[in-house]
Amino acid sequence: MHGSCFVSGFLGVGSAVRPGLERNILVRNRRPAVGSGRLRMVISDSKPAAAVSKPTQKPLSPCFSSGPCKKRPGYSLDALADAPLGRSHRSKLAIGKLREAYSLTKSLLGLPEGYQVAIVPASDTGAVEMAMWSMLGERPVDICHWESFGKGWYGDVVKELKIKEVNEITADYGQLPDLTKVNPAHDVVFTWNGTTSGVRVPAGAEWISDDREGVTICDATSGIFAMSLPWHKLDVVTYSWQKVLGGEAAHGMIILSPKAIERLESYTPPWPMPKIFRMTKKGKLDEKLFDGSVINTVSMMCVEDYLDALKWVQDLGGVPGVEAKSMGNLKVLEDFVGSRSWIHFLAADEKIRSNTSVCLTLDLPKEKVKEMEKLLEAENVALDINSYRDAPPGLRIWCGATVEAEDLQALCEWLEYTYEQVK
């Protein structure tokens, strides 16, 4: 199992200790907690230990990566047994699967009447670029960015599309820019949740005018399903399956509002349009693309995996259930960070703090943080939790709902221990 995040079984022991209590503790006796479904340590805090001792429990899954993210609890390849492997993606069977994926997506997300959904090539990047290449250039563009991916979209618009009238509305890592600077007469491109800074747009997005003239293009890849989105404010929403859903990478999703469709049908950009970006035919929306007929071949295995993930969302109570679980996960880290002086949220303001990609800074030099990561990896406690290469040095811990709170609690004990080891 080392290095793998595939199965979450009942092989280890989970933590019953609340962060904040586990400092200076003495392990007294051990017995399984009743009715927990997992073995837990029972720990008394009666006598302070001299130093932080090596934790005796590990997370059941060491997968805390911010993408691809951990698979849902209980996942196994059996979930893919119904995938129409070896069949054409244009067969009746496969189109039925694609249609099922679209209708489940629409109902779980609560999309308003008239919004369309399609699977598109090249993951979230493909979906964002397809939207920008297809719609921008008609009017000035406001680009709001506060981390690496949003900055990339800004670069696309300025350097690749070479749009002249572009307003850059930006802030440093850990901050949100002043979004009220967005002009409702302009198009706007922004990221709902900045995966590399752990900063999200607060729910509601009141800064987007209901009477806007421009279209809003929102990269929601690490927020959607874990944060409720104000659909009437959003004209294009993109994501991939590999974040909150714990699905597979490589396929993108695009959601279009009636306003976005109107733009596609009324505007033809001056630049060449690659086949994989084309959403219209003879000046009209290619409706087949939103009804199970994809631009190029999709993996029906990945589609089956997406269907499995959507059914897991349904079982958790839909987006509100997924969001609640993710908020509970964030709370585990908040309790821990709140009771330690050496670890901090990059997003100090909790109103803009992500409940999925949680970014932390430590009072340690970069090399020491690296050392901590190596120790955590060597113990198979936490994998891939290094901060993104452009972000301030620190840790990034996924708190989406595929991760379990008990595993985060166990991880916190190891953070404490490894910090003490390297400092």
Ligand X SMILES: Cc1ncc(COP(=O)(O)O)c(C=O)c1O
User: Which chain residues interact with ligand X by CB under 6 A?
Assistant: 67, 123-125, 149, 191, 195, 219, 221-222, 240, 249
In the bound complex, what is the minimum distance in angstroms from residue 101's beta carbon to ligand X? 17
79 phi and psi, to 5 degrees?
-60, -20
Q: Which residue's beta carbon is nearest to the bound ligand X?
A: 195
Residue 12, helix vs strand vs coil: coil
Name the residue among 147, 192, 141, 132 with its Cα closest to residue 168. 141
Question: Which residues pair with residue 14 across a beta bridge?
Answer: 40
CA dihedral 82, 85, 91, 92 (to 10 degrees): -10
In the bound complex, what is the minimum distance in angstroms from residue 272's beta carbon to ligand X? 22
In the bound complex, what is the minimum distance in angstroms from residue 218's beta carbon to ligand X? 10
**Which CB sits closer to ligand X, 67 or 400?**
67
**Which CB sits closer to ligand X, 219 or 304?**
219
In the bound complex, what is the minimum distance in angstroms from residue 365's beta carbon to ligand X? 26
Question: Which residues pair with residue 358 across a beta bridge?
Answer: 397
For residue 260, give both structure tokens. Answer: 């976005």
Q: What is the DSSP letter of 289?
A: G
Give the Å distances, CA to CA, from 399 to 68, 113, 194, 316, 320: 13, 31, 14, 16, 15
* Continuous segment of H or E residues that includes residue 371: helix 366-378
**Which CB sits closer to ligand X, 57 or 193?**
193
**Which CB sits closer to ligand X, 62 or 198?**
198
In the bound complex, what is the minimum distance in angstroms from residue 390's beta carbon to ligand X? 12
**Which CB sits closer to ligand X, 240 or 329?**
240
Question: Which residues pair with residue 281 across a beta bridge?
Answer: 284
In the bound complex, what is the minimum distance in angstroms from residue 27's beta carbon to ligand X? 39
**Which CB sits closer to ligand X, 61 or 240?**
240
